[in-house]
Amino acid sequence: MTAPLPAAPLVNATRFRAAHQATWERLEAIVGRIEKRSVRVLGEDDLLALPVLYRTTLSSLSVVRETSLDRALQTYLEQLCTRAYFQIYGAPGTAWRQLAHFFADGWPRAVASLWRETVAAAALGILGAVLGYFLVKHDPSWFYSIIPAELAEGRDPSASAQALKEVLYGSKDSDPLTAFAAYLFTHNAQVALFAFALGFAFAVPTALLLVYNGLTLGALVEIYVAKGLGPMLGGWLIIHGSTELFAITLAGAAGFRIGLAVGFPGRASRLESAVTAGRTGGTAMAGVVLMLVVAGLLEGIGRQTIQLDWERYALGGSVFVGWLVYYYLPRKRHALA
């Protein structure tokens, strides 16, 4: 049994394909080029056509889903629309624009919005420092349990004032110290990332890390103060410490934000609140890593070349004021970021 040759296509899908296939194929070609290279390779015509083609194809998908039973066609359109969607909506802007936005707005705004957590983190750090100071003052043997020997480098309660002083004013041409600064930067950055990531566990490990950080600082300060070298240590510390300790405090604050968001989500769902906190924290963390780079430079270069106490205080203090101004000075709100 056979039918006479049909005059019209059997199904609508065939007619639909004939009418729109050229559109889909043009979109596919454009999206393929963006995926291979970047959006910059497109000419003006293609660039203007892209959103129109995308919406036409999207509506083709809707029509096909409702009216056609050709699964291959539906799958193809789904895949094509998904690829086009990611190129149109999903891709972040150009690297330069992102970077500019990050410095001008994203970074300081994220840090400023963490101010409550920052105060709490700073308080914990100071608490640790005071505790460390008095523990070591009370019983110098505490020092050895607080600071690991490889970080102390001979700076311990038994060291002479002369030896301690030499560390503070290291010679200018000591090359290994610059490498040591790079090591310190990577070490600190990794610790900061940990402090942030650990905030996830309801902020408890982050708090411990901040207190411990304060303890080591307090213990170190005590052995210098006991030898009457307090102000000199201050200069040695503040030149990079004002940036570095601030950065670690901010990392802790970002961790707190996440821990609190998970623990006390408020009206939002736990997951939603964690996501919002996570994104703010992530932006702040990118800034923290940059701060640690600055701290590493100040430590590696600035501290070696600047030997006068008052200059060290002035530089460290003005850098700190610079950070405060950058983060917390009220800025114009952008209408829609």
Q: Which of residues 75-104 bind another protein (CB under 8 A)?
A: 75-76, 78-83, 85-87, 89-93, 95, 98, 102
Question: 293: helix, coil or strand?
Answer: helix
Q: How far is Cα of residue 94 from the mean position of the Cα atoms in its chain?
A: 18
DSSP conformational letter for 4: P
Site string for another protein, 238-267 (x = CB under 8 A): --------------------x---------
**Residue 275 corresponds to which tokens in the numbers above?**
């996501």
Select from 27, 30, 53, 61 the one that contacts another protein (CB under 8 A): 61
Q: Taking contact as CB under 8 A, which single stretch among the options 128-136, 141-149, 214-222, 279-287 is the one that binds another protein?
A: 279-287
Q: Which is nearer to another protein, 10 or 336 (CB)?
A: 10
Q: Which is nearer to another protein, 126 or 191 (CB)?
A: 191
Q: Which is nearer to another protein, 218 or 255 (CB)?
A: 255
Q: Residue with structure tokens 């660039």?
A: 47
One-letter identity of residue 95: A
Establish if 175 lies at the interface with another protein (CB under 8 A). yes
Q: Burial code of 174-211, b = ≥16 C-beta within 10 A, e = fewer?
A: eeebeebbeebbeebbeebbebbbbbbebbebbbebbb
Q: Which is nearer to another protein, 157 or 205 (CB)?
A: 205
**Residue 110 corresponds to which tokens in the numbers above?**
């994220």
Distance between CA atoms of residues 298 and 315, nearest Å: 9
Q: Taking contact as CB under 8 A, which single stretch among the options 121-129, 144-152, 163-171, 268-276 is the one that binds another protein?
A: 268-276
Select from 103, 115, 134, 183 the one that contacts another protein (CB under 8 A): 183
Question: Contacts with another protein in 281-310 (CB under 8 A)?
Answer: 281-283, 285-286, 289
